[in-house]
Amino acid sequence: AEGAGLHDEL
Amino acid sequence: MNIFRLLGDMCHLVAIIILFLKIWRSKSCAGISGKSQVLFALVFTTRYLDLFTSFISVYNTVMKVVFLVLAYATVYLIYLRFRSTYNSESDSFRVEFLLVPVAGLSFLENYAFAPLEILWTFSIYLESVAILPQLFMITKTGEAESITTHYLFFLGLYRALYLANWVWRYHTEGFFDQIAVVSGVVQTIFYCDFFYLYFTKVLRGSGKMTLP
C-alpha cells in the first residue's frame, strides 16, 4: 500500500 | 495522470460549476441540500491543507484552489445570498450521524497518526458520505429538478471514473491507496440507485425526476 505522504489525487 | 483521472476531475469540476450556476442564475437554491454543500466544503478544506506543505503540480494546485473557492461560494449562495429560497425543513438529515463516526474512524484507520494525515483520512471518509443529505432530501420531497440531477450525475460519474483510474494505476504503477479505494467504492455505490433513476426517468422523460 502507498501510505502516508504525498497524496497526488484531488 | 491518466485519461480516467483527468476525465474524472473534469466531471467533478463540471458538477460543481453546474450547481453553482444553477443557484446563481435562478437566484434560488430550492431542492439543494445546504448540508451536503457544507460537508463538501469541509472535505476540501481538510484534504487540501497540503497546499501549504507540499507542491505536486500546477494542475494539482490550481484545481484544489478552484474546488475550494467554488465550494465556499456555493455555501455562501445557499446560506447567505439566497437564504430565503433554502428549503431548510426538507434538509433535515442529521449530519452529526455522519461526522461523529467519520471522525472516529479517521483516528482509528489511517496511514499515519499525524494531524494532516488524520485530516486527509477524515476528508476521504467524509466525501464518501457527504452526498447523503442531498439524496435524503430528494427521497423526502420525492422529486428533483433536472438540473439538480445533472449535477448528481456528473458527481457520480467523477467517482466512477476515479475507480477506473485506480484500476489503471494499480496495473501501470502498482499504486494502491486502500483508504481512498475502499471509500471510493462505497461512495460510488450510493450513486447506483440514483443512476438508475437518472437513466430511466430524467433522460427518457423531461423536467423533474419524480420518485415512484
CB contact at 8 A, B188 and B159 = yes
8-state DSSP, B85: G
Q: pLDDT at residue B176 above 70?
A: yes
Q: Which residue of A has its CA nearest to B47?
A: A10
Other CB atoms within a 10 A radius of the CB of residue B118 amount to 18
Round to whole Å and give the CA distance between B208 and B201. Answer: 9
Residue with cell 455562501: B76
Q: pLDDT at residue A6 above 90?
A: no
What is this model's ipTM? 0.87
Residues of A within 8 A of B178 (CB-CB) are 1
CB contact at 8 A, B180 and B169 = no
Q: Which residue of B has its CA nearest to A1?
A: B176
Round to whole Å and give the CA distance between B148 and B34. Answer: 13
Residue-wise pLDDT tens digits, B41-74:
999 999 999 999 999 999 999 999 999 999 999 9
- Please compute Rg for chain A using Cα positions: 7
CB contact (8 A) between residue B9 and residue A10: yes
CA B104 to chain centre: 20
Best of B55, B56, B168 to disrupt the A interface (most A CBs within 10 Å) is B56
